[in-house]
Structure 1
Amino acid sequence: MSESSAELLQVTVDVWHPDCWGIVSTDRTGTGIVGHGAAIDGDSGYERCTLYGDTTDQLEQAIAVADELSFIRTIHPFESAADAIRPVMGQSTQDVFIEYDANEGIGSAVLSHGFVLDSSYRIEDGIETWTLLVYTTRSSVERSLDEIRRARDADISLEHLSTAERTMAPTSPPDRRERRLTPRQREALAVARRRGYYEWPRRVSAGDLATDLGVSKSTYLEHLRKAEAELLGRHPFDD
């Protein structure tokens, strides 16, 4: 691969593969998962995730399903310090730390091909959605995905592929109206800007952004619309 032909790419894939605790758990219980990171140490894989659902009973069922799977070594529910700043808007959530057999998970195969998780991944209705960064050629992306498909007997659908690099724009002090936003409104707006919600065509849906934050679509849109109204000049006498 020549250096001149390589570029920083953003890749979004939908994935199904056997022996995945998250796919089995969400499919059986109707919960969702937001994954925040993974690590590999020898034959053990580790993940830090947030489960979300309608009730705490549903979350307990999801944890019980995962705990019964042969390829899960340990699962530890815990209270994260991030809970103090992560908005929990209308849904029950539970953070968990998972240890599993890395030979059964798809994370090790993805990481070994140079892909890096961009923000978080999500699992709903038995399907994983990953947004990844990789520095390579576009043709190499599909070859790498083919190798992962064969290695993990996986179904992988390439949903999005684009250049991730952007020209840096000069920064400016926040607008007076933006300083008046609540933390939840500010986060809703920031993730929409970062993920390409305002680009044309849109790179991501409001439902996807809501899932990334572990909230319902209606709740996410409520905070986003209030932020937009503030920035678009709901107060006509502001300068």
Structure 2
Amino acid sequence: MNLIYFCFFILGLVFGSFFNVVGLRVPLKKSIFWPRSACSNCGHTLLSLELVPIFSYVLQKGKCRNCGAHISILYPLIELLTGCLFVIALYQIGFEMELLIALTFISLLVIIIVSDLAYMLIPDRILLFFLSIFIIERFFIPLESWWNSMIGAVGAFTVLFLIALVSNGGMGGGDIKLFGVLGFVLGWKLILITFMIACFTGTIFGLILMKAGRVQKRNPIPFGPFIGFGGLVSYFYGNELIRVYLSILG
């Protein structure tokens, strides 16, 4: 069994490397397959040995072998994150059909995290691509009731759209549409948990950055990573959180 977890971890590292490419290229409307990855500073085309997830970064001490420019720590962190999430998905779900949705869910959120951190942008084409996959997957692997996904999607989108209107653009359109997609996957209960976690962690992180002088009060920060965090926690542990909350009330 440990070998299976290890294989899933390695698979996650490989996919994480690909998700870096998708998250950085799709917002710029570039092909995710061509040209080959290259150093953003000198244009050096990366060789196979320079593309091994995490290993290449460590071997090169975080620098380009050709010009010595620093490579963003985001690359190995995303690879490591994806590898760990793939293992968590297998551990929490096992070899059930729902595992397919879990891996798709992880893929979407990791790509969104990369895109939002790099450009503060959540591309529609990414959301539409994954929504079409989720619709097919939820058709064959539905939630406990068919209307749960619809209420989660429509409800999340509508409520956040109204919040954006009232707050005069306090939430980006990409964030609103992302919540709609997540609502379809999670259902209405877990999308509520996602929203609360995302808002709480985003607020705390924003206050810390302001206290440290890293951002000004009205400067926007990417909300996508916090939505991703909230979505992942809700997907894997949301029902347990609800049970704990209800037990405290009872």
> What is the TM-score when the length of structure 1 is the normalising length?
0.25
> What is the TM-score when the length of structure 2 is the normalising length?
0.24
